[in-house]
Structure 1
Amino acid sequence: MNQTESLFQCRHIFQSAMTALGVFLTKEKIEEISDLIMEGLTEKWRNFHTFNHILMLTNTGDPLITLAGLFHDLVYLQIDEKIIFNYTPYLNSFIIEKKDGFFIKSQLTYSDDCFSIVLKIFDVNLGDSLSQFKGQNEFLSALVAGKILQPYLPLSLITRIITMIELTIPFRQTKDENETIPQQLQKRLEIVNQEFNLDLSQANIITTICQAVKLANLDVSGFGTSNVQNFLKNTWLLLPETNHCLYDSQKYTIQDYRLALENTNKFINFISPNLVFHHYHNEPDLITFQELIKNCQNNLDISRLYLQIKLTSIALLEALSLHFCPNIPLNFFWNVSNNANFKYVSIFDFLPSILPYKPQNNIEKIILDLLTFECQGNIFPDISHSLFTIFILNYISFETIVNYKSQCDSFFSRQLTPQDFLSLFPPSLISIISSSIEQLLHQKQDSLRFLKHWENQ
């Protein structure tokens, strides 16, 4: 779907949701607000948090969930590295930027119920710092949503939308082990309802939290997919959003790519299913919730092994490269040009053929299938890195490569020197890869000489 089609669909979704709530806006106003929504979703670094992601959240048939879904990712500072200029009129009265981040203003020049409700629903106060680990993006997105919708919806409905956006703050541990995140949110909504005379019944409040749970679970539904390939595909789409250097495949270094993988690996090892999905008042039903938890655990277990194998293979290449060019682009090892006069050969032209490794169990088969799936070009960013990983697997076996985890960690933290790290691997493997790199370097030097000679003719 191109940007024009996405904008048209966004307008249709927004208009349908407002109409379902009994609000009829002019064509110009629909276009104005939809354009604002699309501004955030089409920022240049967005790769996963795009309109395609939003579409998944807006097909429940519930207009309030739809509106919360449309607005919940407007601001994403870790990706966009800024607040969209056209959102600032809705934030300037309440938020101040300092050298060390964004802060809620210590005092306001006037009273604003919508802003006060956002503060209480998000459990923050005047003067507080907005931390990326405590719902910074969701808070700012909810505030923009509330201020945009304030002229057209009653404060009670805006509060419900703000509440739903709050629950999309992901991967939180509860402050009280006797209460879940949705239960704590319910308490805050009850206080807001009473303080601002919103006239929400207890049934309305429970429904709102159920709607919030549905939205939040949809937002992270990829964790609960029964297809681990889809889970990893989403994981790979997220990589370049917070590692912008990966967009330029000609320039990012081995270390750039390794750091991206390493950070993802740390996150995957931190996460547990109970931090991903919510359950509240039979939303979702118990069988569905248990299935989400089961699938999530399976996806995390497989991904941890998968990422460790990828990290071991890239660590080996990084340790070797530190001997001749620490900042060499990863693409150097496997790029091929279509220029007939200047062929960039890859390391695979010099690596020997090895008998394929035979998986010893279902987990090994799944991971080999995932690596093959990536080799087919279906996952960002490197087809060739998976080919290299498969080569390492074929040579030293699955079990052996997994056992290098602690040594990789020591090498990444530079507690192990490159030489000491390489000495842990079979000497024959290091010799094969070193020889292939040496031949690759010679071949590229020869190609450069030929090119210079050809250009001078």
Structure 2
Amino acid sequence: MELEVARKRCLDCLINSIEQLQGRSEPDRLEHIAELIILSMSGPWRYFHTPEHIFEVGGSIDPTEVLAALFHDLVYVQVDHGVNLNISTYISPFVQEQDGQLTIRELDSLPNSSMFQLVSAIFGFSPGQSLSPFSGQNEFLSALIAANILEPFLDIHRITEIAACIEATIPFRPPTASGLTASDLLYQRLLGVNAQFNLGWSEEQFVQMVKRAVRLANRDVENFAFSNSTDFLDNTWNLMPETNQELINANSYTVAGYRKSLQKMEGFMNFLNPELVFQRFRGEPDEETYAALVARTRKNLEVAKLYLGIKLVTIAILEALSYRLGRDIPVSTMMGELPAPGRKSPILEQFLPDVPMASPPKNALEQEVLDLLSKGRNRESVYDIKNSPVSTFIIKSVGFSAMEHLLKRSKDFFAGKIESETFLRECDATVVNKILEGVAQLFDSRKAALHKAG
């Protein structure tokens, strides 16, 4: 989405939503805020958490949800390598950094701010508390910015609703030992906020507030329950450069760098409990809808785990072979450069034989993953092609049944428990030799091109 288009859409969302909430709409001031939001969401490392994402999450019906979505990913410390300078002034009075750790300032160092007190109460945070990116740091800071920015335009009731929605977007939180969910805890804290700030709301109003927050939070992660696992993996591939910026340099990232990205994502997919992706609070969403979301999420995670596992085995073989050349070998050295308009260069798959399937897929999951590997995801990414010809060659050669053992030994190799040559000897010799021959032919084609150019 072009920046100017995104700014215009963001400004329209701000003006229309504030007017619907009977706030003070001042287009000139809101224009600056729209620019602030879009510039922050368009940082060089943002591939998934972009302006398009906030518009999708906000929807177009509920103005509170629209506003909460505009601000909910404003701070993303681990992606942006810190807090964007344009928005840091809104939070620096309340937060300090020491040795890379963000901490809420001690009580005697905090300014007297009702917005800070409100947001802290909604999140259950307190002065002096260390913040963690895995425990609401980004969401808390984003909500704090939203509250401070929107204070001139909306009353405290509306800002409470918006901050509650942002709090709900803290993902993947398990129930407490007593069985309370994140939504239950938010509801309890809101009851305390009601008393602390004399908001005058009924308990039923807070029930509806939490239900709204759940709707927004579930849209934030709706890609986990896409009906097509290919679409889910497309989003996964957009997330990877946000956690490994080396991938942005399309033809120079290393084999080890790409492998580490795959490792992070495969580890995350295996860690994630599908029941923790979507939230539910007092019938929102209804039981049938929630069950369907969890079922689709479980299926997508199973596809992703098998798909990423095979990709890890593939990169393990390539990395082990690359050790014969050095320790920081680019993927493009081993596999050829990514396709580019008007330029054709040799790639590894050209030199691999087309082999029959050694053992046909045993179930629908294996068939779907085979199709994903051979035919590809729906979209190309800036750092990778959408299909996986080397992985397809490997899985056709050895079958899915060999993957569990090969994946375990791949991880042993990555962890330094076995040497590269030991790992290669445990792989199918024909597969390794054919890949090795293909890489050698790729080198020969480059050598021939070099002499031709001379």
Structure 2: gaps (5+ residues): none
Alignment match, 1:149: 150
Asked whether the 8 Å contact 1:48–1:234 carries over to 2, the reply is yes
Asked whether the 8 Å contact 1:222–1:234 carries over to 2, the reply is yes
Say whether 1:359 aligns with 2:361: yes
- Structure 1 residues 366 and 58: CA distance shift in structure 2, 3 A: same
Aligned residue for 1:403, secondary structure, equals helix
Aligned residue for 2:426, secondary structure, equals coil
Question: In 1, distance between residues paired with 2:379 and 2:339?
Answer: 17
Alignment match, 2:87: 87
How far has the Cα of 1:276 moved from its partner? Answer: 0.8
Question: In 2, distance between residues paired with 1:112 and 1:353?
Answer: 67
Q: How does 1:24-35 map to 2 (within 5 A)?
A: 24-35=24-35
Asked whether the 8 Å contact 2:93–2:111 carries over to 1, the reply is no
Asked whether the 8 Å contact 1:20–1:63 carries over to 2, the reply is yes
Equivalent AA in structure 2 for residue 371 of structure 1: L
Aligned residue for 2:55, secondary structure, equals helix
Spell out, residue by residue over 1:399-453, the C-alpha distance to the aligned partner (whole angstroms, 9 max, x if none).
22343121111111010111110111122222222222223223323332333x2
Question: In 1, distance between residues paired with 2:386 and 2:206?
Answer: 52
Asked whether the 8 Å contact 1:68–1:161 carries over to 2, the reply is yes
Question: TM-score, normalising length from structure 1?
Answer: 0.94
Q: How does 1:252-263 map to 2 (within 5 A)?
A: 252-263=253-264
How far has the Cα of 1:116 moved from its partner? Answer: 1.0
Alignment match, 2:54: 54
How far has the Cα of 1:345 moved from its partner? Answer: 2.3
Spell out, residue by residue over 1:205-237, the C-alpha distance to the aligned partner (whole angstroms, 9 max, x if none).
111100110111110011112111111111111
Mean alpha-carbon deviation: is it higher for 81-90 or for 8-17?
A: 81-90
- Structure 1 residues 450 and 220: CA distance shift in structure 2, 3 A: same
Alignment match, 2:224: 223
- Structure 1 residues 336 and 222: CA distance shift in structure 2, 3 A: closer
Structure 1: gaps (5+ residues): none
Question: In 2, distance between residues paired with 1:208 and 1:314?
Answer: 47
- Structure 1 residues 375 and 118: CA distance shift in structure 2, 3 A: closer
- Structure 1 residues 330 and 61: CA distance shift in structure 2, 3 A: same
Question: In 2, distance between residues paired with 1:112 and 1:400?
Answer: 60
Q: Which runs of 4+ in 1 moved over 4 A?
A: 336-340
Question: In 1, distance between residues paired with 2:22 and 2:329?
Answer: 60
Mean alpha-carbon deviation: is it higher for 207-216 or for 360-369?
A: 360-369
Q: How does 1:422-433 map to 2 (within 5 A)?
A: 422-433=424-435
Q: How does 1:332-411 map to 2 (within 5 A)?
A: 332=333, 333-335=335-337, 344-356=345-357, 358-374=360-376, 377-379=379-381, 381-383=383-385, 386-411=388-413
Spell out, residue by residue over 1:235-293, the C-alpha distance to the aligned partner (whole angstroms, 9 max, x if none).
11100111111011111011100000000011001101221111111111111111001
Equivalent AA in structure 1 for residue 353 of structure 2: P
Alignment match, 1:204: 205
Mean alpha-carbon deviation: is it higher for 321-330 or for 215-224?
A: 321-330
Asked whether the 8 Å contact 2:357–2:396 carries over to 1, the reply is yes
Question: In 2, distance between residues paired with 1:168 and 1:199?
Answer: 25
Question: In 2, distance between residues paired with 1:329 and 1:363?
Answer: 32
Mean alpha-carbon deviation: is it higher for 65-74 or for 92-101?
A: 92-101
Aligned residue for 1:9, secondary structure, equals helix
Aligned residue for 1:267, secondary structure, equals helix
Alignment match, 2:234: 233
- Structure 1 residues 163 and 377: CA distance shift in structure 2, 3 A: closer
How far has the Cα of 1:109 moved from its partner? Answer: 5.1
How far has the Cα of 1:179 moved from its partner? Answer: 1.1
Alignment match, 2:17: 17
Say whether 1:133 aligns with 2:140: no
Question: In 2, distance between residues paired with 1:232 and 1:421?
Answer: 28
Asked whether the 8 Å contact 1:40–1:73 carries over to 2, the reply is no
Spell out, residue by residue over 1:96-130, the C-alpha distance to the aligned partner (whole angstroms, 9 max, x if none).
12223211111235421110121122112111111
Question: In 1, distance between residues paired with 2:340 and 2:153?
Answer: 57
Question: In 2, distance between residues paired with 1:376 and 1:203?
Answer: 44
Alignment match, 1:44: 44
Alignment match, 2:251: 250
Mean alpha-carbon deviation: is it higher for 401-410 or for 315-324?
A: 401-410
How far has the Cα of 1:60 moved from its partner? Answer: 4.6
Aligned residue for 2:45, secondary structure, equals coil
Aligned residue for 1:90, secondary structure, equals coil
Alignment match, 2:100: 100
Alignment match, 1:194: 195
